């Protein structure tokens, strides 16, 4: 993580050297946008924290744990397909679930379907793309998310381990 901070800092310094005015303008825009999403981010973070505090670890382990990893992948993929949640909430939630012992491949299935599959956005998508394209896109996205989850599991030794 420190490498990312160092690279970001160096890129900021290089940008300042190239054009101080543009860089400061971009930083002002970034701060304004951050302040704009901060209330929603904090609200969701608090709600997720409260729910995870109230839900026993045993329940999370039962449905998303390593004992039934393939059922957990399918459950997480189905949940991710239905829930409508922005990425800036989903990824911190995934970090919390990882600390609770949820497998990487389960988190991969959840976050990938969350971003790629849209059950709740189906009516809007259908209006713009049509029924056939919407169904095909969602089905293919769901399949790809499962493949990504399995590959993640192989990479982290969760599939054969």
pLDDT tens-place values along the chain, 161 residues long: 789 999 999 999 999 999 999 999 999 999 999 898 888 778 877 877 777 677 776 777 677 776 778 888 998 999 889 887 778 778 888 888 888 888 999 999 999 998 999 888 888 888 888 999 999 999 999 999 999 999 999 999 988 76
Contact 66, 142 (CB under 8 A): no
CA atoms within 13 A on the CB side of 97: 28
d(CA 75, CA 120): 17
**What is the structure's pLDDT at 161?**
63
């Amino acid at each position: 993580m420190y490498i990312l901070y160092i690279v970001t800092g160096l890129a900021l310094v290089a940008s300042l050297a190239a054009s101080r005015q543009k860089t400061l303008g971009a930083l002002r825009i970034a701060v304004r946008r951050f302040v704009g999403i901060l209330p929603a981010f904090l609200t969701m973070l608090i709600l997720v924290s409260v729910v995870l505090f109230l839900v026993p670890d045993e329940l999370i382990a039962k449905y998303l744990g390593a004992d039934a990893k393939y059922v957990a992948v399918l459950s997480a993929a189905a949940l991710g397909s239905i829930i409508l949640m922005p990425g800036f909430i989903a990824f911190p939630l995934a970090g919390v679930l990882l600390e609770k012992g949820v497998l990487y491949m389960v988190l991969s299935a959840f976050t990938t379907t969350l971003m790629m599959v849209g059950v709740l956005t189906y009516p809007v998508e259908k209006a713009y793309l049509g029924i056939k394209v919407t169904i095909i896109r969602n089905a293919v996205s769901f399949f790809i998310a499962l493949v990504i989850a399995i590959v993640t599991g192989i990479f982290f030794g969760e599939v054969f381990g």
